[in-house]
Amino acid sequence: MSEYKATIKWQRSSPDFLKGKYSREHTWTFDGGVTIPASASPSIVPVPFSNPAHVDPEEAFVAAISSCHMLTFLYLASKQGFQIDSYEDESIGVMTENEKGASWVSLATLNPKIVFSGDKLPTPADKKHLHDLAHEQCYIANSIKTEVSVNFVQNFELISFASADELARAAASAWLDEIAAANRAGKPHCVALSGGRITQKFFAATVEQNKSRAVSFAHVHFFWADERCVPPTDPDSNFKMADELLFSPLKISENQIHRIRGEDSPGSAVQIAEEELRKIMPCKSSLPILDLIFLGMGEDGHVASLFPGAAAKIPDISVPFLVVNNSPKPPPTRISMSHKMIIAAKNIWVLVSGAGKEAALRESLSPDGRTPLARVIQSRPVKIYSDITKL
């Protein structure tokens, strides 16, 4: 048998206690020594007698359910050989009245977003089985009458457009919204760009829209999801396209542009690219986390320069960049962000446009897909902008 202790402290600070006009602020102290400021929920006791900034018992109850489910899920996934990089749940509790008219938290809905990595990825059936077992074995869930529901959300949001131009305009508008939000928060915006035909339209749409919106790019840092091993003036250079269509029109400062040096030896280019990344985004974890990565998708389902048929070990490489030799598309030598670096990003937006990609996109969206894009989608949530309507 185990015991769990918590000390709850409240002190009267008002002479109007008997009139109900007293603060509900108090503290929770746990056996490990951590003290948390608490209060009644503002939805039950109005401000100023409650404090919205403090945790309330109802949300703590929902958090306890979510935390227990997560810890049990992680344990079970580990035992079954599924590697998890991150788990995020925006859980929601609903309070209603029971048959006696008493209020209770009748439903807790868990909305987990889980990033998997490694060679062994779970199917949707595997994920459901893990969640079912986690619920059965979670001791908090076994201790309550509240119904616990796990919301299985597909890992992608597919946004369809009638044309490539519409796609480009929508993606550009959404990106400007992201940059504006970062500016309001006083934070930098670190983004990785890709190449491809749709990217040209996307860059042009961004420049055109910003003429009227005037969103500041002063705190945006630009990296690349991949680059061809060619000089920056070569027509095949992803940097060259961005420089001509985005950076020059927007007058982006050179110290915000962290290009992959395709003219250098591949090994040196990888090393310098990683140093640039870590200089701008120092981190305690093994991989820096970008705010946003733009990806395209090829006719074979490749993303960045990660192609089908690559060595099995590539998805497990825990470095930001890697050298890709013998690319099936010219030029043969490239530098690409690793799969793990891509799926670590806060947001991934995939721009998919053009004839001949229907089959690759269909397979990539399938739970059993085996394309590089499918592997990304199976690992974490992804937003897809596409003008392919027949899937």
212, with CB counted inside 10 A (0-12, 13-18, 19+), is exposed
**pLDDT (0 to 100) of residue 313:** 61
- Least confident among 176-190, 267-281, 359-373: 359-373
**pLDDT (0 to 100) of residue 283:** 74
**pLDDT (0 to 100) of residue 230:** 97
**Segment 250-309, tens digit of pLDDT:** 999 999 999 999 999 999 999 999 999 999 987 766 789 999 999 999 999 999 999 998
Examine the pLDDT at 219 and tell me if it is beyond 70: yes
- Least confident among 117-126, 204-213, 261-270: 117-126
Q: How many CA atoms lie within 13 A of 338 on its CB side?
A: 24
Examine the pLDDT at 324 and tell me if it is beyond 70: yes
**pLDDT (0 to 100) of residue 315:** 67
**Cα–Cα distance, 86 to 3 (Å, whole number):** 30
Examine the pLDDT at 122 and tell me if it is beyond 90: no
Strand order in the sheet with 334-337: 226-228, 334-337, 321-324
Q: What is the mean pLDDT of residues 308-328?
A: 82
pLDDT band with cut points at 50, 70 and 90 for residue 116: confident
**pLDDT (0 to 100) of residue 1:** 79
Examine the pLDDT at 153 and tell me if it is beyond 70: no
Q: What is the mean pLDDT of residues 62-75?
A: 97
Q: How open is the CA angle 197-248-346, to the nearest 5 degrees?
A: 60
Place of tokens 């793990």: 340
pLDDT band with cut points at 50, 70 and 90 for residue 311: low
Domain map of the chain by residue range? 59-150, 156-386
Please give the helix or strand (H or E) that residue 269 lies within, else none. Answer: helix 266-280
264, with CB counted inside 10 A (0-12, 13-18, 19+), is middle
174, with CB counted inside 10 A (0-12, 13-18, 19+), is middle
What residues form DSSP beta bridges with 159? 385
Examine the pLDDT at 208 and tell me if it is beyond 80: yes
**pLDDT (0 to 100) of residue 284:** 61
Which residue, 300, 313, 299, 329, is CA-closest to 226?
Answer: 329
Q: What is the mean pLDDT of the chain?
A: 93
| pTM for this model (two decimals) | 0.70
**Segment 16-63, tens digit of pLDDT:** 999 999 999 999 999 889 999 999 999 899 999 999 999 999 999 999
Paired tokens of 391: 């899937």
Are residues 222 and 258 in contact, defined by beta-carbon separation less than 8 angstroms? yes
What residues form DSSP beta bridges with 110? 150
- For residue 12, which phi and psi values (nearest 5 degrees)? -65, 135
Which residue, 139, 90, 131, is CA-closest to 111?
Answer: 90
199 Cβ contact partners less than 8 Å away, ≥ 6 residues apart: 193, 241, 294, 296, 351
Examine the pLDDT at 242 and tell me if it is beyond 60: yes
Enter the CATH code of domain 156-386: 3.40.50.1360
CATH superfamily of 59-150: K homology (KH) domain (3.30.300.20)
**pLDDT (0 to 100) of residue 312:** 53
**pLDDT (0 to 100) of residue 352:** 97
